[in-house]
Amino acid sequence: MFLITATVNAQMLKKDFELADKQYKLMLETQHDLTSFPRSMDKDGKVKGVGVFDWTGGFFPGVMWYIYEYTKDPTWQALATKWTTALEKGKDLNQHHDIGFVMYCAYGNAARLEKDPKKVEVYNQILIHSAKTALTRFDPKLGVIKSWNTKASWDGKTIWKYPVIIDNMMNLEMLCYVSKITGNPVYKNVAISHALKTMQNHFRSDFSTYHVVDYDLETGKVLHQQTNQGYSDNSTWSRGQGWAIYAFTMMYRETRDERFLKAAKKAADFYLNHPNLPKDKIPYWDFNVGQKGYQADWKADGRINLSHIPRDASAGALVASGLLELSTYVDEKQKLFYFKNAETMLQSLSSDKYLAKTGTNGGFILKHSVGSFPHNFEVDAPLVYADYYFLEALLRYQKAVN
C-alpha cells in the first residue's frame, strides 16, 4: 500500500538503531552521575546534563527504552531501568508544567515494556503520584494547566500572569493514562478541559499556532497571544506546530472526540502545505523568519541570515511520529498523504545531512536541531528529545509497514 519494499524499510531501521545503540553506549561511558540527564552538547563537544526538574530529563531513559524495544537486548532494559529509577524525584515537579514530559517518557515506557507485574505496579504508582502533582497547576475556573509561573515577555512590556504554552498539550497523555489505570476520570477530564481551551485560544483561523497564551486570573479572558521561542508573535514556531499535531492526535486516540481529530488534521495540513516547508520536509525553526509582516520583538539584529536559516530536526522527528499515528485515524487518501510525508521526513533524518557519524555529536543521534533561537540557546545542536521522537517515529513506522 505504501509503495515501499520491506527490504528498504528494514535496512533503514537497522542502520538507524545500530547507530543509536553505538552512540548511546559511547555516551554512557562518560555519564556516571545519575542526577545529571544528558540534554545536548556544548561547543567543545561535551555532553550537557540537566537535573531531574528540567523538562528534558525523561527523554534520556526514554531513548533507552526505545532502543530496548527494537533490539530486545536486556542490557538496554537494565540501563533504561536504572536511569528511569533515577528520575523518581521528578514525581514532585510542580515548578512548571512539564512533569508529563519528564515522567511519562520514562515511566510510561517502563510500564509499557516491563514484563514483571510488581515492577509495573511500582511504575504506575509513581505515575499516579506524578499526575496528582500535575493537577496542582490546574485552575478549574480557567480550565487549563498553568505552564510557567509569572514571567516577562521578550519585549519586557508584558508580564504573563497565567501563561499556557502549546507544549503543555504533550503532558496530557500521562493524565489520560492515569485515569485508565485508576478508573478515576478526574485526570482525563482535566486533560480534555485543557485540550479544548487550548484548541479555542492557541489556534489561529488557518490552524497555525501561537506559542504562549496568557489568561486573566479573575475573568479567564485571554490577555496575550505571543511567542517565546518563535520568530514573532504572529509567526509559526515549527516545533510548536509539531506539539499541536502530535498532541491533538493523541487526545483523539484517548477520547475519540472528533474535534481533536479535526484540530490535528488542520494543524498537520497547515504544516505540510506551507510554502516555506523545505523539500526534505525538515522545517526551519520558524516558518516565517524574516518574512514581510513578521517582526521579531527580541534582538534579532545581526543574528538572522536569510540564506542560512537553521533547520530543526527535533520538529521534523516530532511531526513524523505524530503523522504516523494520525495516518491511522483517517480515510485512505489522507492516510497515504500523512504517511508518505512522515516517510519522507524519516528518510531525510536518516541521511548523512542529519544523522551523526559514530563517535561524533556527543553521542547523540541527530544533528541540526534548535532549542530556542531567540535565546541563542542550543542552536544547530543535538537534542535528546530529537533522538527520542526520531526513535519513536521509526518504531511506529516499523509497525505500519510490517
- pLDDT value at residue 8: 63
Does the active-site annotation cover 233?
Answer: no
**Helix (H), strand (E) at residue 264:** helix 258-272
* pLDDT tens for each residue of 154-210: 767 789 999 999 999 999 999 999 999 999 999 999 999 999 999 999 999 999 999
- pLDDT value at residue 3: 47
> CATH 1.10.10.10: does it fit domain 6-401?
no
pLDDT band at 1; cut points 50, 70, 90 = very low
Cite the DSSP H helix spans in 56-138.
Answer: 59-71, 74-85, 99-103, 109-113, 117-135
pLDDT band at 15; cut points 50, 70, 90 = very high
Question: Residue ranges per domain, the chain?
Answer: 6-401
* pLDDT tens for each residue of 331-359: 999 999 999 999 999 999 999 999 999 99
Q: At residue 287, what are phi and psi to the nearest 5 degrees?
A: -75, -15
Query: How far, in Å, CA of 208 to CA of 56, rounded?
Result: 25
Catalytic-labelled residue, pool 33, 42, 73, 167: 167
- pLDDT value at residue 7: 61
Catalytic-labelled residue, pool 16, 98, 312, 387: 98
Does the active-site annotation cover 98?
Answer: yes
* pLDDT tens for each residue of 200-243: 999 999 999 999 999 999 999 999 999 999 999 999 999 999 99
Instruction: Supply the pTM of this predicted model.
Output: 0.97
Q: Which three cell numbers stand for residue 367?
A: 544533528
Whether pLDDT at 261 is above 50: yes
Three-state DSSP class for residue 379: strand
Q: At residue 365, what are phi and psi to the nearest 5 degrees?
A: -90, -50
Asked if 324 and 342 count as a contact pair (C-beta separation under 8 A), the reply is: yes
Question: At which residue does the C-alpha cell 521534523 appear?
Answer: 316
Q: At residue 40, what are phi and psi to the nearest 5 degrees?
A: -155, -160
Asked if 131 and 95 count as a contact pair (C-beta separation under 8 A), the reply is: no
Whether pLDDT at 316 is above 50: yes
Q: Where are the beta strands (DSSP E) in 246-368?
A: none
* pLDDT tens for each residue of 20-67: 999 999 999 999 999 999 999 998 999 999 999 999 999 999 999 999
Residue type at 127? L
Tell me the average pLDDT across 368-381: 97
